[in-house]
Chains A and B, each alone.
Chain A
Amino acid sequence: MKIELTPKQKQGREAFRAFAEQEIIPYADQWDESEQISRDLIEKMALQGYLGAVLPERSGGMGLDMITCGLLNEEVGRACSSVRSLLTVHGMVSLVLQRWGSPEQKEVWLPQLASGARIAAFGLTEANVGSDAKSVETTATPSGNSYLLNGRKKWITFGQIADVFLIFAQSEGKPTAFLVERKTPGLVINPIRGMLGVRASMLAELRLEDCCIPASNLVGQVNFGFSHVAATALDYGRYSVAWGCVGIGQACVEACLRYTNVRRQFGAYLREHQLVQQMLTEMITNVKAARLLCYQAGYLKDVRDPGAITETSIAKYFASRTAFKAANDAVQIHGANGCSSEYKVQRYLRDAKIMEIIEGSTQMQQINIARYTCQEEMLDGPAAR
């Protein structure tokens, strides 16, 4: 066993960090305030190939292994969770099409998603349906060689600008996924503003009123929308969010190390006060532990181990709690300054709270990890040990 990045992975991490330092960090607070990221940034990320990170080179993607892909999410997440959430949802739909798309869907969509020419968003959540995702109320009624989609989707990340949505609906009571293009008649998109965190992720509510979707836009098969299509997307979503949380935690560590090195109280630097040291130690240790869990999940994904799904849930659970705790302590260490928009830690805290809710809330993970582990205890494989 060897836990060390390859030279190529290290090189990737350095490039991602340099990009984030130059193109994201200087603007992240501004985007948080204006509740949108710039088109210019999306184009720059597309040019770097980041929007095709999860796709193979034959589809025009970067063909990254899952560890390197995770490092991209950490470095972008360290800079701005809203930008990271674009990588998450765009990657979720890209991976689903790569995994379960028809040959025609792959041919049409993968190169466009890989290049960033088109942006994709994930449309599962509804006003009445969050954790209980199987119970979506949107319907897809067969009509000749098409389906008529009716319903509403809420909190759709980057819904304001996405060109195509992966929409989940009940087709005669069977969960089914469809690609719905933005230009589809009957699709109305309303921006959602004023969120607590990840404020620049350009959320939208979608209304589908008799949207006529060709049967060729059905992704996977009827009745496999949840068990295979959504499951594939959410597994990657959890992985991306977990790494993004490591990024938030790392940003908190760095902010606190800087601050405690210059701020003095009672005649000593904050870093010399033991109760501050306690918070720093917790933060540093938990962030490292979260990163190791992400490495483990990434490794299992790369070797296609069936245990990867549970390990990813564990990584997401721990990393999101760590990010929130780290950001909470980071604000505490910064005192009044930490509550001010002049310091980034207040943004980290607001963003970190969202991480405990999306892609399976902390409570859903608490239920599922125990259940999954009971289920897997009989199975052989690295995840069982």
Chain B
Amino acid sequence: MDEQKIKIRTFLSKHLRNHDLSDEADIFGLGFVNSLFAMQLVMFVEREFGITIENEDLDIENFRSVNAIVKLVDKKAATLAEA
């Protein structure tokens, strides 16, 4: 869990120009997210954690914060493990 958080926070923080990012901070609320970054985030999460973001995962709540992304990754990984 901690390792996931570090990877996600590192990716987000670099994009947000080292903005001091808490695990609950709303990255959309910070106003830095554009459509390029939205797709890059999807690609980053997929590549880094070996999951596939699908139609049903397109919910802004899934990408809103470090904690939200960790939760999504865990959920997807669990589904993958069951399959």
Interface residues of A (CB under 8 A from B): 100-102, 219-221, 223-224, 226-228, 231-232, 235, 303-310, 368, 372, 375, 378-380
B35 in the interface, Cβ–Cβ < 8 Å?
yes
Measured CA separation A232–B39 after assembly (Å): 8
Most buried by A among B15, B54, B55: B55
Residues of A within 8 A of B18 (CB): 378
User: Bound complex: CA of A302 vs CA of B63, how far in Å?
Assistant: 24
Residue B43 interfacial (CB < 8 Å): yes
- The residue that B17 contacts in the complex, of A223, A227, A304, A378, with Cβ under 8 A, is A378
A228 touches B14 (CB 8 A): no
Taking a contact as CB atoms under 8 Å apart, the answer to whether B15 and A221 are in contact is no
* Contacts between the two chains (Cβ within 8 Å), count: 60
CB contacts under 8 Å to A, within B1-28, are 11, 14-15, 17-18
Q: Are A228 and B44 in contact (CB under 8 A)?
A: no
25 A-B pairs (CB sep. < 8 Å): A101-B55, A220-B55, A221-B55, A221-B58, A221-B59, A227-B35, A228-B38, A228-B58, A231-B39, A232-B39, A235-B39, A304-B43, A304-B46, A304-B47, A305-B47, A306-B39, A306-B40, A306-B47, A307-B40, A308-B43, A375-B15, A375-B36, A375-B37, A379-B14, A380-B14
- A226-B35, A231-B38 given; A306·B55 CB < 8 A: no
> How many whole Å from A384's CB to the nearest CB in chain B?
10
Residues from chain A with Cβ under 8 Å of B38 in the complex: 227-228, 231
Contacts of A310 in B (CB 8 A): 36
Closest CB of chain A to B16's CB: distance in Å? 9
Instruction: Report the minimal beta-carbon distance from B36 to chain A, rounded to whole angstroms.
Output: 6
Residues of B within 8 A of A (CB): 11, 14-15, 17-18, 35-44, 46-47, 54-55, 58-60
The CA of A231 and the CA of B29, in the complex, are separated in Å by 21
Within the complex, what minimum Cβ distance (angstroms) separates B35 from chain A?
4
The answer to whether A228 touches B42, judged by C-beta atoms less than 8 angstroms apart, is: yes
Taking A304-B43, A309-B36 as known contacts, 14 extra A-B pairs with beta carbons closer than 8 A to each other, sorted by chain A number, are A100-B54, A221-B55, A221-B59, A227-B39, A231-B36, A235-B39, A304-B46, A304-B47, A306-B44, A306-B47, A309-B39, A375-B15, A378-B17, A379-B15
Bound Cα distance from A308 to B11, whole angstroms = 16
State in angstroms the CA–CA spacing of A310 and B17 once bound together: 18
A236 to chain B, nearest CB (A): 12
Name the residue on B nearest A220 (C-beta).
B58
Indicate which residue in A102, A224, A372 contacts B36 across the interface (CB closer than 8 Å).
A372
Q: A227-B35, A375-B15, A379-B11 are in contact. Are A100 and B55 (CB under 8 A)?
A: yes
- Chain A residues contacting B44 (CB-CB under 8 Å) are 306
Task: Quote the shortest CB–CB distance from B69 to chain A (angstroms).
Answer: 14
Chain B's nearest CB lies how many Å from the CB of A312? 11
Q: A228-B42, A306-B44, A309-B40 are in contact. Are A378 and B35 (CB under 8 A)?
A: no
B15: A residues at CB distance < 8 A:
375, 378-379
